[in-house]
Structure 1
């Protein structure tokens, strides 16, 4: 795919040749097709149309973006890339290395992105020091969701450490409540695993093991403790967990059938949609032992090289619009995430979002802001997939020891 010439859509090119194109067209590939997400995408479309540009929606539903990436690859290979595409984490670097992404430093400088983005986030959006993507939002992954009525019935308190977690789980079990709502899918297993790794090992351990893939840390006694703790969580899930979707697990907590769930802040949307109020009907708390840390999952739009000058102008306007305070507010109120810009007014956001924003700012200063490995932010996709498979095999096996899992994870970390 290296240095593939990009040609714009024939229709737009024809208009430009005739001198009729007063403004550009932005074709945007994304997979925001569910209710809140679709509203958020519509807000961006309206912003672009207000600037006089034409928005061409290129929505590909399903597979958490897997289907969209397949379509995108074929478009880029044929020299017909969209203006922007929803790509995130290390995958941005992989696309940039192919020479197909545009440098948008001029927009970033004009809009002062280096000052309004935490360095840990800005670094993900750059390739060789140049911005090639615009971040849209921040999801916090290391959340624990709890049903206070279930906890009251069990005489338990919402845990802040892993020791407290197992005490609470035992009390919920005795009260006839499923302690932990879980969906046995590999990404859900991995989401739980990274929260355990962060809570048991701490930020420095997490960074060395799951971001830098340091062999000594992956084979350390701390990693063995992480794996043992992780497997212990499984004993408090129910027998129907395998294959369950995450939102159905959240519904168990909403109904009080289960006491708690370890899941990112997209779970909040399910509680709110069910008419539940944060702090009253449900509790959002950092996963045990992770109050001083924040695992981030950031959606972003990569900007592709275009030949048509008007379309390039429209593309730059899109990048600026994505990072504007107005759009950051509207989009994130709809999506359940928080703005990626620092210093935003959070008055319209709920208590969980306010807590998330406060912790986002604090961890961006104290070094506790780390990328989520489970959600494509920390390592190359091939390595992420290999480690994820080992973690699920260990979760589902009665025969694999923590030491065996550790050896396999260290081997998977070398996968290319």
Structure 2
């Protein structure tokens, strides 16, 4: 991110803050059914505190379009009060001087947040962002009726996965429901790498970008596995939004989907029940690992007292047990903070909570590369381009590994 030349424009933030003191404008990309219900709860809480919520919603799964819109607003000196930003991107914006210190509203957060979460929300020891949840990315969603007809057992490794996919294909279904968008391709890829190589290999390759791990037989096998998965995806997948792929699993047109647990928000919004209408299972080979994706709101520099008060109230609302419970019940994720009751969460949610805690202790908890938690955005983008090219061409696994190694050096 190269914003230095335009940060003189940030002086205009104080004007914006003063002129729009009654408004709390929030940029996000939560526009699907389950996501929209989730963000509506935050709007409700802020309006109850006397603030005027201004929705700055930019559609497009993965947030690429939202980040483009955000950069344009910052360049013009007119950023929102808060924006949905996550992972290393929080530090990138903070380094540019764009974010505000909200530590005064976060006095007890160190006690409430796991260190792995708190560290992502801070810059130079000061809180600059508030976490709303923890998503598990390495899930496999399966149509329950189709699974029952195929023997009722979710696959625990890729041999079992392909055997089940063959049964779904024979039954006339699209075995793997998928949307041919780069971020979705990367989501499948990272679950494959985790399942083939394990958590340590995943961290070495896709978090530390270790050259030996990237250029290894294990990575070659990961691409070979991904190539086989491609053969179970329908020809109309190109450009399909993720929630439409989830709907395929929901309505029985698709058998399985690799997707984070925001997919569960779609099932919930459609009144579908885990264990009855669908199964949630760790992606093949990943039962003892957990790729995490933390949604968060970064707080931009505002000068006016009313704007600062609105920002502090927004941060406090996000971290309240009430919001963390209702938001995550709708979103499919789990609370980022401690002290939220598990009682209302279904079997998928409770499993996610238990696995988050256990993998944090075992070393199986790893940052999601595909969802902006692991590496700088420029590096991530270059690697995702390689994965997308592999998914949409006849590129060999060997050539993909070579391209991956080259892309990992992008700064």
Q: What TM-score results when the alignment is normalised by the length of structure 1? A: 0.90
Q: Does the C-alpha gap of structure 1 residues 56 and 145 become closer, same or farther in structure 2, counting only changes over 3 Å? A: closer
Report if aligned partners of 2:173, 2:254 keep a CA contact under 8 Å in 1: yes
Q: Deviations over 1:48-89 (max 9, x none)?
A: 33334x234141322343343333323323333332111112
Give a deviation string over 1:327-363, Cα, whole Å, max 9, x none: 1112222222221113421212222112112212222
User: What secondary structure sits across from 1:205 in the alignment?
Assistant: helix
- In the TM superposition, 1:183-198 aligns within 5 A as 183-198=179-194
- Is 1:29 the counterpart of 2:27? The answer is yes
- Identify which range, 270-279 or 281-290, moves more after superposition: 270-279
Match of 2:128 in 1: 132
Partner in structure 1 of residue 54 of structure 2: 57
C-alpha change, 1:184 and 1:8, in structure 2 (3 Å) is closer
Q: Which of the residues 380, 384, 389 maps onto 1:388?
A: 384
Matched, 1:413 2:408: yes
What pairs up with 1:352-391 in 2 under 5 angstroms? Answer: 352-391=348-387
Q: Over aligned residue pairs, what C-alpha RMSD do you find?
A: 2.3
Q: 1:27 to 1:393 in 2, by over 3 A?
A: closer
- 1:207 counterpart SS class: helix
Q: How many residues align?
A: 405
8 Å CA contact retained: 2:139, 2:280:
yes
How far, CA to CA, are the matches of 1:414 and 1:185 in structure 2?
23
Q: Secondary structure at the match of 1:388?
A: helix
Contact 2:133 2:295 in 1 (8 A): yes
Q: How many angstroms apart in 2 are the aligned matches of 1:114 and 1:128?
A: 14
Gaps of 5+ in 1: 16-20
Match of 2:147 in 1: 151
Contact in 1 for aligned 2:269/2:330 (Cα 8 Å): no
Structure 1 residue 14: deviation in Å?
A: 6.5
Show the counterpart of 2:94: 96
Q: How does 1:186-265 map to 2 (within 5 A)?
A: 186-265=182-261
Query: How far apart are the structure 1 equivalents of 2:252 and 2:34?
Result: 25
Asked if 2 retains the 8 angstrom alpha-carbon contact of 1:7 and 1:80, the reply is: yes
The within-5 A match list for 1:244-393 is 244-393=240-389
Equivalent residues of 1:179, 1:259 under 8 A apart: yes
Deviates more, 1:384-393 or 1:406-415: 384-393
Contact 2:25 2:80 in 1 (8 A): yes
Deviation at 1:147, TM superposition (A): 1.8
Instruction: Give 3-state SS (helix, strand or coil) of 1:146's partner.
Output: strand
- 1:45 lines up with 2:50 in the alignment: no
8 Å Cα contact 2:33/2:266 also seen in 1: no
Asked if the contact 1:156/1:168 (under 8 Å) is kept, the reply is: no
Quote how far apart the aligned CAs of 1:414 are.
0.9
Q: Which moved more, 1:255-264 or 1:297-306?
A: 255-264
The question of 1:13 aligning with 2:9 is answered: no
Which stretch shows the higher mean deviation, 118-127 or 203-212? 118-127
1:166 is displaced (CA, Å) by 1.8
Preserved CA contact (<8 Å) 1:25 1:310 = no
